Amino acid sequence: MTMPSEPVAIARRTIRGALTGALATIAQDTDSGMPYASLVLVATRSDGRPVLLLSALAEHTKNLLADSRASLMVDAIDGLASPLTGPRVTLQGDLVKAANDLARARYLARHLDAEAYAGFADFSFFQFEPKRVHLVAGFGAIHWLDWADVVTPIALAADLMRDEASILDHVNADHGEAVAAIAAMAGGRPGDWRLTGCDPDGCDLRLGGESRRVDFAEPVHAGSDVRKQLVRLADAARKS
């Protein structure tokens, strides 16, 4: 598998690392078709498609059920003195109801408090089906990308997807110190960090309202590959 280009790698990292995003839908309450923007919590499927948990009572959901076209902007600008120097990604495409339980599992691993309302009858999981990706990686670093180039290939990752939940449970229960060390190496503050996801490209960490995305040195396809990469990262973190 060839490694992604730098713009693609930045776009993937930004999408996967985002806890929140700005969702724009097409308003249905008037005949004007005006855009309607709202704040949403974001997770991703194993291939990087964003996943949202939306209430049928929300304006954006009413809009989507009438017209699935949407745009989602996510960023990685937290803590920057000059936010416009940080990366942000705008996705254009369709937001549709998620078809299986994988979206639910990955979302709830990332947003633990959503478990309290995820089972309510009016809430449903939606997944973004992007067509185009617009990356601004800082001043003058602007790229239009095809989603086909940004999405992570997962054809060989069936074992990883099957084992992900058990990997998270084991690492968080028995290797919290290593997770905290990896987070610190990635610029995170001291604390009880959790591993919230692992995919062919890397892993996601969270502590309260702070998240960190850590790329693997090479693509992984199975739980054993993930463990090797986490050991390598933990060793590097302790040495640093």
The residue ranking higher by pLDDT, 32 or 181, is 181
Q: What are 99-143's pLDDT values in tens digits?
A: 878 899 999 999 999 999 999 999 999 999 999 999 999 888 899
Q: What are 136-187's pLDDT values in tens digits?
A: 998 888 999 999 999 999 999 999 999 999 999 999 999 999 999 999 999 9
In sequence order, which residues have a C-beta less than 8 Å from that of residue 5 and are 6 or more positions away?
none
Strands 43-44 and 35-41: unpaired
Residue 5 confidence (pLDDT) above 80: no
Q: H/E element holding 183?
A: helix 176-185
Residue 232 confidence (pLDDT) above 50: yes
Q: Is the pTM of this model over 0.85?
A: yes
Phi, psi of 128 (to 5 degrees): -80, 135
Alpha helices in 34-115 (DSSP H): 59-66, 101-110
What confidence score (pLDDT) does residue 8 get? 95
Residue 4 confidence (pLDDT) above 70: no
Please state the three-class secondary structure of 119-147 as a single string: CCCCEEEEEEEEEEEEEECCCCCEEEEEH
Cα separation of 26 and 35, whole Å?
5
Residue 1 confidence (pLDDT) above 50: no
**With the C-alpha atoms ordered 159, 203, 39, 147, is the resulting torsion angle positive or negative?**
negative
96 CB-side CA count, 13 A: 6
What confidence score (pLDDT) does residue 59 get? 95
Q: What are 202-215's pLDDT values in tens digits?
A: 999 999 999 999 99
